[in-house]
Structure 1
Amino acid sequence: MASSPNDGYTYNWSVVSFPTDDYDSYDPSESQVNCTVLYLDQCTSWNKCRQTCLKTGATSYRWFHDGCCECVGEHCVNYGINESRCRMCPEPGSDDEDED
């Protein structure tokens, strides 16, 4: 994946990398492959998530219903991390819960 989406928008993002190897069958003589995912900090629409991730070179993407966008690298299984980790998403004041 590219280090930043080049789509004319300014995004901040965070990157998470973790080994894809099964730790139970770890063999130090074999090279390890990492899964790398990129989280956009700001909330985005589904379409903007898709477009931005394609421009980073991600092989897939995941858009969470809170507006968080995860771009998934080629060595990841099951679409990377099944958790919304965008720093500024959901936006403050957008809770669906009723406050009494």
Structure 2
Amino acid sequence: MMQNCSVEKAVNLFGEKWKFLILRDLMHGKMRFSELKRNIETISQKVLTQNLRQLEANGLLTRTVYPEVPPKVEYALTELGYSLKPVIDAIRTWGELYAKN
């Protein structure tokens, strides 16, 4: 077994489908929590919050809080997050091919 397998590291970083869906949506630019929640209808608020925190901790996105009332928070991909675009595009392409079968 390979000790430092890059595929294993990547899978451990993402862990579940929600992170891919969040990254997919943020590829189009900054989004607020409510926009992400609306786009990913089946995710709970708790799970969305947990996944956003994990993605931020892993350096894939940033969270910007604006000093307004009510508070405004936006999420955006970092350069590292945007580097996943080819991966997301490949998954999308594969999914489209798979759906045809």
Name the TM-score, length of structure 1 as normaliser.
0.31
From the two aligned structures, give the one with the greater helix fraction. Answer: 2
- Structure (1 or 2) with the greater strand fraction: 1
Q: How high is the TM-score relative to the length of structure 2? A: 0.31
